[in-house]
Amino acid sequence: MYRHWLEFEKSVEEIEKKIEELRTYEATGNVRSSEDIAKLEKKAKGLLKEIYGKLTPQQITLVARHPDRPYTLDYIQNIFEEFMELHGDRSFRDDPAIVGGMAKLDGAPVMVLGQQKGRNTKEKVHRNFGMPHPEGYRKALRLFELAERFNLPVFTFIDTPGAYPGIGAEERGQSEAIATNLMVMSRLKVPIVATVIGEGGSGGALAIGVADRVNMMEFSTYSVISPEGCAAILWKDGSKADLAAKALKVDAGELLKMGIVDKVIKEPLGGSHREPQTAFKNLKAALTSELAELSGLDKEALVEARYRKFRNMGVFAEPKR
């Protein structure tokens, strides 16, 4: 049984509970329970497929925030080998909201980093709910520059509601830290692959998202603001998050159509939290393929293509005179 069920999954939860009850009964030697379990499992799978086949943008947002969803360290530990975490920005302190270091992908040395959320209350507070301070982004900057120095491809994992907006963060130059990362990433002479694995919120996400290839997990989101925040600003009513999510086009399918992201990584039925190993396998295949493609490019051509990629985003029309 899963620890957390979303509101729109309640019908599946009821069936899963019945299955658990039957399994307990089956353990006593009841043969007929096996047949009933098989029927209920088929029904649950069909219902889950129906539900996840027509999720609204706001429902996808809730899946992206699911507390059982794999986080950055889960992906690093299951996709890469020999991960060695590096700490601190060499200026103020270490920020646990961003983790990163050197690792290997199929034996090849790489640099990996991303935002990290927490599972329980203590860990959430320690990781600041995945919202980095300026020193977190400066740590990321240090890793970017280190990667370029040693010619290491960079893989980033985006999963944050946004950069921390507290007074201390602003005093230590939050906006400057993000802006510097945007500038440095745009010029970095090594391949960069970014993947949105959960929430991709605002400049806090973009600060590690200027990449040659930008992927999104199927049930992740990427937006300038959360649907609730947008609704609160536009309508002074956070309950209109459904309407805001639809207007923001936060989901992977819409962002792929607009050319904001390059690839959508298929997730297991019901989301990555239901079958994490399948999610790890799917993403690793995509990362390996993209690295092979990018590694063959000349450094100057790589930087130029990255520049053009981001310059070509967006649509505008000249006013008629």
Note the pLDDT of residue 318.
81
Same domain, 278 and 179: yes
The CATH number of residue 155's host domain is 3.90.226.10
In this prediction, residues 214-226 reach a mean pLDDT of 95
Same domain, 103 and 18: no
Note the pLDDT of residue 3.
67
307 part of a folded domain = yes
d(CA 112, CA 63) in angstroms, rounded, equals 24
In this prediction, residues 8-28 reach a mean pLDDT of 80
Question: pLDDT for 59-111, tens place per residue?
Answer: 999 999 999 999 999 999 999 999 999 999 999 999 999 999 999 999 999 99
Q: Which DSSP state fits 127?
A: T
Q: Is the pLDDT score of 269 beyond 80?
A: yes
In this prediction, residues 248-261 reach a mean pLDDT of 94
Same domain, 204 and 286: yes
Question: pLDDT for 139-197, tens place per residue?
Answer: 999 999 999 999 999 999 999 999 999 999 999 999 999 999 999 999 999 999 999 99
User: Residue 36: pLDDT band by 50, 70, 90 thresholds?
Assistant: confident
**Residue bearing tokens 């960069």:** 192
Note the pLDDT of residue 146.
97
Question: How does the average pLDDT of the chain come out, rounded?
Answer: 92
303 part of a folded domain = yes
User: Residue 29: pLDDT band by 50, 70, 90 thresholds?
Assistant: low
User: Residue 30: pLDDT band by 50, 70, 90 thresholds?
Assistant: low
Same domain, 111 and 234: yes
Contacts of 256 (CB under 8 A, 6+ apart): 216, 262, 263, 264
Q: Is the pLDDT score of 1 beyond 50?
A: no
Q: Is the pLDDT score of 33 beyond 80?
A: no
Q: Is the pLDDT score of 15 beyond 90?
A: no
Note the pLDDT of residue 26.
62
164 part of a folded domain = yes
Same domain, 16 and 92: no
User: Residue 17: pLDDT band by 50, 70, 90 thresholds?
Assistant: confident
1 part of a folded domain = no
Same domain, 103 and 196: yes
Same domain, 24 and 120: no
Note the pLDDT of residue 23.
77
319 part of a folded domain = no
98 part of a folded domain = yes
When divided into structural domains, the chain yields a total of 2
Give the residue numbers spanning the domain of 200: 61-311
Same domain, 27 and 68: no
Strand 263-265 to strand 213-217: parallel, antiparallel, or no bridges (unpaired)?
A: parallel
Same domain, 295 and 148: yes
318 part of a folded domain = no
Note the pLDDT of residue 136.
97
Same domain, 194 and 259: yes
320 part of a folded domain = no
Same domain, 46 and 101: no
Q: By mean pLDDT, which of 2-11, 48-57, 59-68 is the weakest? A: 2-11
> Can you read off the two tokens belonging to residue 68?
């059982």
**pTM for this predicted structure:** 0.91
In this prediction, residues 129-134 reach a mean pLDDT of 96
Same domain, 104 and 137: yes
